[in-house]
Amino acid sequence: MQLHGLDIAVIVGYLVVVLAAGFIVSRRAGKTIDSYFLGGKSIPWYYLGIANASGMFDISGTIWLVTLFFMYGVKSTWIPWVWPTFNQIFLMVYLSVWLRRSNVMTGAEWIQIRFGKKLGAELSHISVVIFALVSVIGFQAYAFIGIGKFAQIFLPWDLSVNTYAIILMGITALYTVCGGMYSVVVTDILQYILMTLASIFIAIIAMQRVSPDTLAAVVPDGWYNLFFGWKLNTDWSGLIAGVNEKIASDGFSFFTIFFMIMLFKGVLVSMAGPAPNYDMQKILAARSPKEAALMSWFVSVVLNFPRYLMIAGIGVLGLVFFSGDINSMAAAGQAADFEQILPYVINNFLPVGLVGIVLAGLLAAFMSTFDGTVNCGASYMVNDIYKRYIDPNAPEKRYVFASYISSTIIVIVGIIFGLKVASVDSVLKWIVAGLWGGYTAANVIKWHWWRFNGFGYFGGMITGIVASIVLPMLFPQPLLFGIERNLAMFPVILALSTAASIIVSLLTDPDEEEVLKEFYRRVRPWGFWKPICDKVLAENPDFKPNTAFKRDMFNVVVGIIWQTSFVLIAIYLVLWRFQPLAICAAVLAVTSVILKFNWYNKLEQQ
């Protein structure tokens, strides 16, 4: 693509500003590893919330969501629940509070709070570090392929996909390595502002260029419907070639079965708490448990509306104008690449200057995901491997230097794995269904059952991780029983991991009573803790057990509806469908009032 000089200046100017900001805060981050990885736990919740939202506004995910909206219409709102996007609601309602009360630096360090310091806890610690590093590398590969495809299309130099990805990952690594969490938050806020501006501009262009009647002529019956029957029943025959085949290959044709598995998976994954990635890192960096909850609430506020303005805007323009290219590919016997919708729209519909802003915003989307992931992965290497096993009494400056080295290693390994990834879609599905299936069981049980011990956690985690890697090799076909392979495997991986967690726990001794009592006093979870609760009450009759299970679950349901309303308001606005938009706005208002009185007002009591 030939970029105008003004657009190139905007992109280069953005990169210079981001690098400068990262280096300016690097001196503040270099004092201790606590300041490097968690910003000294001094960053306000609203800054952390914007930074966390910016990290989720990634370019690879945006490409995927645009493709879903293009093919599935308004029903595509449900599909990201496979991630699950509503995990932010579980965090907001209670899990961020529980996690922040632990007052640790990483998820692996949290293991000591829950299981103590004996062999079972040591094995559990190792399993969390393994999972964290595997997932970080997976996300790096995911980001690598997305930014490489994007850059080759838009940037004016004749370089390969991999070369572009390596260059951009290297630039982002510079400020991430030097500035740690401070540079991540500062640059993510700058990046969020750019991405929001880009989203608004794209939505306005789509609304100006595409009338409701024009769009209705190119989409099938049911495309506007939010709800669905047993099957998807969206037939693209005679409209856009190849979409029916893509829907079948996705495994979403039996939409109710897909939705039920997705919801089942999503609830369990959410109850497990955040995986050891940038999301957990932001929670642990909050100044207090209450601010950790507010940070998770703010993510939903600032992320979903602008992101779906962009997704719906690009999708609408693609449906009306890119469909001819797809039909031409089909007529020539070529497979359509639906991941090209986003670059096609930017290339053909944005004016000079705005192209630079949008491209800089999408580069920012990549950078904000990448920098948080690198910072998180390095924290595990330094705090949970180097400091714990190699040099536990080193001066803080040595740990900070080790952080620089660890961040660099993670970037290099991520690039190596990224070179082997076939597509954004393939690695995304493995992460959200396969790998998370291995994480879920042990990390749900750890919060809620006192008898679950370190050996059980280790057994459940290792079983899950191995199953998530081995089963896709044994069943390489894209669909199982008509459902996307990784999602169909989730119940199997979950069952294996759950069985290992429970059986190993019951075959080994419980963890030390003092460790369990201290964890219960500090974190105050609800669940099956009665034997420990009784002992804590015997020692301290003024202790108040957590009895908020029913309230928390009610708030979770209300919160999911509240969060979904942001998405639908953005979509219906771009589609010029004001009646359902008004209904969604009313739902948003009602759910906001409920959450104000039943969640926010009671945060101080937690």
156: region left, alpha or beta (phi > 0 left; psi from -120 to 50 alpha): alpha
Q: Which domains does the chain have, with CATH numbers?
A: 5-605 (1.20.1730.10)
Please give the model's pTM, rounded to 2 decimal places: 0.85
3-state secondary structure at position 454 = helix
Whose CA is closest to 493, among 459, 470, 460, 467? 467
Please indicate whether residue 98 or residue 183 has the higher confidence score (pLDDT).
Answer: 98
Flag whether pLDDT at 1 surpasses 70. Answer: no
* Per-residue confidence (pLDDT) for residue 390, from 0 to 100: 86
As beta bridge partners, residue 479 has: 484
3-state secondary structure at position 531 = helix
42-46, 380-384, 562-566: which is most confident: 562-566
As beta bridge partners, residue 473 has: none
CA distance 436 to 84: 10
First to last CA, the chain: 54
* Per-residue confidence (pLDDT) for residue 330, from 0 to 100: 55
Q: Which tens digit of pLDDT belongs to each residue from 579-592?
A: 999 999 999 999 99
How would residue 342 be classed by pLDDT, with cut points 50, 70 and 90? confident
3-state secondary structure at position 528 = strand
| Lowest-confidence region among 233-237, 283-287, 362-366 | 362-366
Rg, C-alpha atoms of the chain:
24
As beta bridge partners, residue 483 has: 480
CA distances from residue 175 to 18, 60, 349 in whole angstroms, order as listed: 8, 21, 33
Flag whether pLDDT at 188 surpasses 60. Answer: yes
Q: Do residues 15 and 366 touch, judged by C-beta distance below 8 A?
A: no
Q: Which DSSP string do the residues of 95-149 spell out, in sequence order?
A: IHHHHHHT--SSHHHHHHHHH-SSHHHHHHHHHHHHHHHHHHHHHHHHHHHHHHH
Residue 149, token pair as written in the block: 């495809």
Q: Do residues 313 and 202 touch, judged by C-beta distance below 8 A?
A: yes
Helix (H) or strand (E) segment spanning residue 484? strand 483-484
Phi, psi at 528, each rounded to 5°: -90, 75
Instruction: Please tell me the number of Cα atoms within 13 Å of 25 on its side-chain side.
Output: 23
- b/e map 376-398, b = 16+ CB within 10 Å: bbbbbbbbbbbbbeeeeeeeeee
- Give me the mean pLDDT over the 502-514 stretch: 95
Q: Do residues 323 and 215 touch, judged by C-beta distance below 8 A?
A: no
Q: Which DSSP string do the residues of 278-316 spell out, in sequence order?
A: HHHHHHHHSSSHHHHHHHHHHHHHHHHHHHHHHHHHHHH
Flag whether pLDDT at 3 surpasses 70. Answer: yes
CA distance 482 to 440: 24
* Per-residue confidence (pLDDT) for residue 219, from 0 to 100: 92
Alpha helices, H only, 210-288 = 212-216, 243-250, 255-271, 278-285
How would residue 427 be classed by pLDDT, with cut points 50, 70 and 90? low
3-state secondary structure at position 253 = coil
* Per-residue confidence (pLDDT) for residue 387, from 0 to 100: 82
